[in-house]
Amino acid sequence: MARYVLEVMYDGTCFHGSQIQGSISTVQLELNKALSTLFRMPILTVGASRTDEGVHALCSFYHFDIEGQLTIDLKYKCNSILPGGVAVKRIYRATNPEFNSRFDAIRRQYRYRIYKHKNPFLLNRALLYPFALDRKILDEAAGIIMEYEQFESFSKRKAQTKTFNCKIYQSYWEQNGEELHYIVEANRFLRGMVRGLVATQIHFARGKEPLVNLRAIINARDCTKAYFNVAGHGLYLEQIVYPEGALEQIVFDTEIK
């Protein structure tokens, strides 16, 4: 049995989240259907991340198992039958047959995009937020987040996790043209964590209360103390990193170089 991995990107507004939920359209369900059609047998994928409805991905991974070597241009075939909101970017073979696209990831990076003035071309691509934000407070808040490893306050309830510890490698805001972006990279993320971090930082940048209270929210280990009220469509899963040598890319002769 060989383990193969799809690297995909998708528009989160086209699906009811990434993880399979019965018969409603999700990224995982559409990948399962496409692979099952191509291989003429039931194929079940395992995803690297469980993004909520509306959240986009520029890079995510799904692994699956089949007997033997690939004999078809799977990237081309999948993209021919998948719905328009999702595309396969690359195909890999896992060097370890026990590779797990979710648990073997060592780093993940998300980006949250905000814009201030109405722009129809950013609809469902970023968060329209026409209110004043104190950039200095945002920068300070992002720095405070870097100091912590325990983020239970930023995990939604009923999260299926044994630990709320996350190692934050990057946490910062940057101006990108007319947009303001929050970039955060960590070894792992909790359910709803990035949106919680963004919404809570915005709360302080609006001058709602002193920034020192951010530490109190983190230390409380209580999700009712944090804020999660930002839309999913501003959020992008931007990068997932695996240990070197874990994946070997497969390129077919029919692919356009």
Contacts 24+ apart (CB under 8 A), 215-222: 215/144, 217/153, 218/144, 218/145, 218/148, 218/150, 218/151, 218/153, 218/154, 220/153, 221/150, 221/152, 221/153, 221/164, 222/152, 222/153
Residues 52, 73, 134, 139: which is the catalytic one? 52
The secondary structure element, H or E, covering residue 110 is strand 107-115
User: End-to-end CA distance of the chain, in Å?
Assistant: 30
Residue 138 phi, psi dihedral angles, 5° rounding: -60, -45
Q: What is the total residue count of the chain? A: 257
Q: 35: how many CB neighbours lie within 10 A of its CB?
A: 24
Contacts of residue 198, defined as CB under 8 A and 6 or more positions apart, other chains included, come to: 112, 182, 230, 234, 235
Residue 209 has what DSSP assignment? S
CA distance 64 to 105: 16
- Is 52 catalytic? The answer is yes
> Which residues are known to be catalytic?
52
